[in-house]
Amino acid sequence: MLDSFAFRPEALRNIASDDALDRIATNALGMRLGDQHLASEAYANLRDQVIRSPERWRNVDVAVSLAPWTAGPVTGKGSMFVATVRWEYRLRPANSTMRFACVAEAAEYRALSRDPTVASVWHFDPTTGLDAGDQAAFELLEFSVDGKPRTIRRSERRGSQIYAVNLGKVEPEDEVTVSFTYRALVQRHGHLLYLDLPRPARGFHVRFDYTAVPISYVSVLDYFASPDSSYLDQSPAAVPAKTIDVRFDGQVFPRAGVAFVWVLDDELA
């Protein structure tokens, strides 16, 4: 019987409830690790992050380009870069509507980060003088499903804004490709742009282009919980373009991501 369960998992599914499967998995992991407490916590984390996730993404591709912000100060307090960010990935949508948010409050950011209907949430620091509800701070520019543009609807209040997109008719078993582009302001002297994944994903690539801005160099920190390493490729110093590519082909868990940390040209003068 054990061999049957080991090599024919559908046999176990036919006779066990989800709760029973959770207990079996926890106990099996505890025996394998020799630590039942560790097994219980590890499996609970896996269950909460992956099994209960409404969606799983595949072949995630992100392109980020930085440009100077011309509507504010060039340096010092309030100086910004404009980040244009394009995402594309495949998924079986769990909801007919996807939402995007820009908020100022940290508590609201954390809550929306765990909302299954929110595809992306951007935190904007209100100390810059701009409001997070301003389109200058964040704007969803385009959204498409399998290459077909969808209508974007926007609502705002002081301190936040929400964009909503109806995906149209998608059958529950259908996998689609979604792509979207947003533009957001990033503090020049914040020295950081962080991209995270709110859903489990298989395969992740991001290109970071800082050709147009006065950045001397960029360090990359990835937060992939895996024994496998990510692939990092930086453009040679001899070429005009300044780009960094980060690729990870394995399984990425929710809240994992990549941080780009920069040093400005004038900080080395």
Highest-scoring range by mean pLDDT, 4-8, 115-119, 217-221, 248-252: 217-221
Q: Return d(Cα 241, Cα 231) in angstroms, integer.
A: 19
End-to-end CA distance of the chain: 71
Q: What are the residue boundaries of the structural domains of the chain, listed by start?
A: 2-51, 57-267
Residue 129 has which token pair?
A: 């003088």
Q: What share of the chain has pLDDT > 70, as a percent? A: 93
For the ranges 13-17, 87-91, 125-129, which has the lowest average pLDDT?
A: 13-17
Provide the whole-model pTM: 0.87
Mean model confidence pLDDT for the chain: 88
The three-state secondary structure class of 213 is: coil
pLDDT-derived band at 16 (thresholds 50, 70, 90) equals low
pLDDT-derived band at 229 (thresholds 50, 70, 90) equals confident
* Per-residue b or e along 163-183, where b marks 16 or more CB atoms closer than 10 Å to that residue's CB: bbbebeebeeeeebebbbbbb
- The CATH number corresponding to 57-267 among 2.60.120, 2.60.40, 3.40.50, 3.30.1370 equals 2.60.40
Reported as a single tens digit per residue, the pLDDT across 153-179 is 999 988 899 999 999 888 878 899 999
Residue 191 has pLDDT above 70, yes or no: yes
